[in-house]
């Protein structure tokens, strides 16, 4: 093995005449970026945990990447989304490599569902059925791509819609994988991904894969990510909810339907005469349909032990029997292949998970039912993931860095420590660094909060919010995100604005998320109306986005089963759920939403929160103290004076000359 190159000093790398400045025209030396990199370097070298909030514009990605690649050991970087993973690989890592003057040994790992399974692809090609005729040419495009791809990553197929049905039937899934006994094991794209990760010094994953890895390790199924002892978590504010998803259990009507379809396709592909299996599949479908229709009546409700009774209990018990019957029938088929054996195991696993969900008797989980489109799901989620993260992550990692632009509440990390299990771990050294954004928010932005707005629950709120939004859009000449805490308010305001504003209105749901964002970037003066998924991870720099409007403070609904269970748990522990949980979570969400606006030193724009509680309630001060220091105003004339400078000079001259 060649000797490791000597480490690069962050001060030399990030300095005004440093290695990075030589690669980036117009580079500005940012002291906060250098301080963050030095703090990350110390923790990676000495061990412990670093909590680091780095405001927008700090340059946190390169700040942690430099010490990560200089560590001399494998470092796993986990991002909040796949989009950020791709940004790291396509943009930030190449910049770092050029600045250092050497190639970097980096591997990217995504969840199995992103990769084509060659075995399932061949099976579908021979015996698959389409749910929609328009998917046939899409599959033909996939067939052409299969002969060219070296990664099997569906992200390479730019025109493949997110919701295409057949991808679920040809992608790699843990439920269908038979491991080393698969005839395509050596050429498997997931196998190649893991082999590349085993050889790499820097492995880039996302929180979903990280938590899936922790979950399978706990279940005794080995590991997904290669061994590591050093971890960097970017967008760490998303970790709690992602962990809750993966440490829980869920069985849906879709999950059962996919099992039935996979069994039928495997039998057809293998040309097996297995009448009893076909009969069991048909019986399972019938029983699942009846059971999930009954379960749909409980959608949105918290479920307690003994919640199933009467006919529902009978249907649930019958469904468990049908799953067991299918598993037994498959195992009775002579000369069955590994694929069918794996499906028998999968049926038995679904039966065990469903039994756990139907009993609803674990006090550390919250049980509930969801209805999404035509599918119904039973779910169990841990009420508190702190003990799980403490045991499975913090006690195992030698060094960990948690960073984001939104981690701190009330100027500190007490909320984050409590939620992630970092406040009660003896012997764990936790360091903190809080770095403000280098942007001049007092000059670049104004925060408008109208007084005497109707209460958000009032029937008059939507009409007033639409009026305020219309007035703000006139001042910003469109070019705005209007962010809502509910689909109901989104659609009501969208209906009121249609025909009243001259700007193009883009409404969430009219096109896929990525397509809407791209359309917003390309459409002059566009206005995007959206909900939670657009509050974070969207980056539109420049004058195209000159206004961000939030309809109300983003308190999570206390009727949400998980939120309700967390509130009850804090009450049982003698805490104050509103002050300790609901307000901090809403503060972090509001910071994310408003953070869409100022993305560069030249950006200017209007921030608006149409919720008077921000200035009229005592807890509003906690929100204001946690937000960037934009000038706070309460009347539209002050916004108008600020907005006079938003138009680019050339465009303003052209407008006046018409």
pLDDT (tens digit per residue) in 271-286: 777 899 999 999 999 9
- Tell me the per-residue pLDDT of 422-478, one tens digit each, with 9 for 90 and over: 986 667 899 999 999 999 999 999 999 999 999 999 999 999 999 999 999 999 999
Residue 137 domain-assigned (yes or no): no
Instruction: Assign 596 a pLDDT band (cuts: 50, 70, 90).
Output: confident
CA distances from 65 to 13, 100, 128, 196, 433 (A): 12, 12, 44, 19, 17
Assigned domain for 520 exists:
yes
459 with 507, same domain: the answer is yes
What Cα–Cα distance (Å) separates residue 647 from each residue in 9, 214, 429, 524, 639? 42, 50, 50, 13, 14
Residue 452 belongs to a domain: yes
- Using pLDDT thresholds of 50, 70 and 90, give the confidence band for residue 82: confident
For residues 128-136, give the mean pLDDT. Answer: 83
Per-residue pLDDT, 654? 32
Residue 149 belongs to a domain: no
pLDDT band at 176 (very low <50, low <70, confident <90, very high): low
Residue with tokens 């880039």, as numbered in its chain: 204
The answer to the question of residue 649 being in a domain is: yes
* Same-domain pairing of 609 and 464: yes
* Average confidence (pLDDT) over 84-112: 92
> What's the chain's average pLDDT?
89
Specify whether 241 is located in the same domain as 264.
no
Torsion of CA 448, 450, 454, 459, to 10 degrees: -50
Same domain, 398 and 529: no
Three-state SS at 468: helix
| The predicted structure's pLDDT at residue 6 | 59
Helix (H, G, I), strand (E, B) or coil at 429: coil
- Chain centre distance of CA 26: 33
pLDDT in tens, 319-336: 999 999 999 999 999 888
Is there a single domain that holds both residue 530 and residue 465? yes
From residue 540, alpha-carbon distances to 199, 407, 544 in Å are: 36, 22, 7
116: left (phi over 0), alpha (psi -120 to 50) or beta: beta
Examine the pLDDT at 7 and tell me if it is beyond 90: no
Say whether both 542 and 422 belong to one domain.
Answer: no
Say whether pLDDT at 519 is over 80: yes
| CA–CA dist 244, 537 (Å, integer) | 20
| End-of-domain residue from the set 438, 460, 475 | 438
Indicate whether 583 and 602 sit together in one domain: yes
pLDDT digits (tens, 9 = 90+) for 150-161: 999 988 887 787
Q: What is the pLDDT of residues 344-381, one digit of tens each?
A: 999 999 999 999 999 999 999 999 999 987 899 999 99
- Residue 512's pLDDT band, with cuts at 50, 70 and 90, is confident
CATH number at residue 520: 3.40.50.300
Q: Residue 657 has what pLDDT?
A: 33
Residue 143 domain flag: no
pLDDT of residue 228: 94
pLDDT at 3 over 50: no
Rg of the chain, C-alpha, whole Å: 27
Alpha-carbon gap, residue 388 to 244, rounded angstroms: 9
Read off the CATH number of the domain in which 292 is found.
1.20.120
Same domain, 364 and 465: no
Question: What pLDDT is attached to residue 342?
Answer: 87
**What is the percent of the chain where pLDDT is above 90?**
64
Which residue has better confidence, 247 or 3?
Answer: 247
Helix, strand or coil, per DSSP, at residue 642? helix
Is a pLDDT exceeding 70 seen at residue 607? yes
Domains contained in the chain, number: 3
Confidence at 653, pLDDT banded by 50, 70, 90: very low
What pLDDT is attached to residue 222?
65
pLDDT band at 2 (very low <50, low <70, confident <90, very high): very low
**pLDDT score for 655:** 38
Residues 100 and 225 in one domain: yes
Q: Do 42 and 59 lie in a common domain?
A: yes
Residue 113 lies in a domain: no
* Residue 650 clears pLDDT 50, i.e. is over it: no
> Do both 214 and 353 map to the same domain?
no
pLDDT of residue 183 exceeding 80: no
In this structure, are 513 and 624 located in the same domain?
yes
Structural domain harbouring 366? 249-382
What contacts 24+ positions apart, CB below 8 Å, involve 156-162? 161/512, 162/512, 162/514
Whether 153 is in a domain gets the answer no
């Amino acid at each position: 093995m060649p000797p490791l190159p000597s480490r690069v000093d962050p001060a030399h790398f990030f300095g005004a005449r440093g290695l990075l400045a030589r690669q980036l025209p117009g580079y500005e030396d940012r002291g906060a970026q250098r301080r963050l990199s030095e703090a990350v370097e110390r923790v990676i070298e000495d061990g412990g945990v670093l909590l680091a909030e780095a405001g927008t514009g700090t340059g946190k990605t390169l700040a942690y990447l430099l010490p990560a690649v200089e560590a001399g050991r494998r470092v796993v970087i986990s991002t909040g989304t796949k989009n950020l993973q791709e940004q790291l690989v396509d943009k930030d890592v190449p910049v770092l490599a050029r600045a250092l003057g050497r190639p970097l040994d980096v591997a990217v790992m995504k969840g199995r569902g992103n990769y084509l399974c060659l075995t399932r692809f061949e099976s579908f090609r021979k015996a698959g059925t389409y749910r929609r005729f328009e998917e046939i040419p899409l599959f033909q495009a996939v067939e052409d791509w299969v002969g060219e791809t070296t990664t099997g990553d569906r992200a390479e197929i730019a025109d493949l819609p997110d919701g295409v049905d057949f991808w679920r039937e040809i992608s790699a899934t843990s439920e269908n994988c038979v491991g080393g006994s698969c005839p395509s094991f050596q050429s498997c794209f997931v196998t190649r991904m893991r082999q590349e990760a085993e050889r790499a010094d820097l492995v880039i994953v996302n929180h979903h894969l990280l938590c899936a890895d922790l979950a399978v390790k706990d279940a005794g199924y080995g590991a997904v990510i290669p061994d590591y002892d050093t971890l960097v978590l970017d967008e760490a504010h998303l970790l709690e909810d992602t962990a809750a998803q993966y440490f829980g259990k869920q069985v849906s009507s879709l999950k059962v339907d996919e099992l039935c379809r996979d069994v039928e396709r495997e039998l057809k592909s293998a040309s097996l005469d297995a009448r009893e299996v076909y009969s069991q599949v048909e019986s399972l479908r019938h029983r699942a349909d009846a059971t999930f229709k009954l379960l749909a009546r409980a959608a949105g409700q918290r479920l307690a032990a003994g919640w199933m009774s009467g006919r529902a209990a009978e249907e649930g018990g019958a469904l468990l029997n049908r799953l067991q019957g299918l598993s037994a029938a498959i195992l009775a088929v002579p000369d069955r292949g590994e694929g069918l054996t794996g499906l028998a195991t999968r049926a038995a696993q679904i039966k065990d998970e469903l039994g756990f969900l139907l009993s609803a008797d674990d006090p550390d989980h919250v049980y509930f039912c969801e209805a999404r489109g035509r599918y119904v799901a039973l779910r169990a989620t841990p009420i508190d993931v702190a003990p799980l993260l403490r045991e499975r992550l913090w006690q195992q990692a030698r060094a960990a860095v948690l960073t984001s632009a939104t981690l701190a509440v009330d100027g500190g990390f007490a909320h984050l420590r409590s939620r992630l299990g970092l406040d009660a771990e003896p012997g764990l050294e936790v360091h903190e660094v809080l770095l403000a954004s280098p942007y001049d928010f007092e000059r670049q932005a104004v925060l408008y909060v109208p007084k005497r707005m109707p209460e958000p629950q009032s029937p008059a709120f939507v009409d007033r919010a639409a009026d305020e939004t219309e007035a703000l859009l006139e001042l910003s000449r469109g070019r705005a995100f209007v962010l809502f805490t509910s689909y109901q308010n989104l659609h009501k305001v969208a209906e009121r604005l249609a025909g009243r504003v001259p700007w193009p209105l883009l409404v969430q749901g009219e096109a896929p998320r990525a397509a809407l964002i791209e359309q917003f970037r390309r459409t002059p003066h566009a206005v995007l109306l959206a909900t939670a998924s657009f509050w974070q991870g969207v980056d539109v720099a420049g004058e195209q986005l000159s206004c961000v409007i939030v309809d109300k403070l983003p308190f999570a609904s206390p009727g949400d089963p998980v939120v309700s269970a967390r509130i009850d748990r804090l009450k049982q522990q003698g805490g104050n759920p509103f002050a300790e949980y609901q307000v901090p979570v809403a503060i972090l969400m509001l910071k994310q939403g408003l953070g869409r606006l100022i993305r560069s030193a030249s950006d200017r724009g209007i921030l608006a929160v149409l919720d008077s509680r921000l200035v009229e309630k005592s807890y509003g001060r906690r929100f204001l103290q946690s937000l960037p220091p934009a000038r706070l105003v309460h009347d539209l004339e002050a916004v108008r004076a600020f907005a006079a400078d938003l138009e680019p000079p050339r465009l303003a001259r052209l407008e006046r000359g018409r």
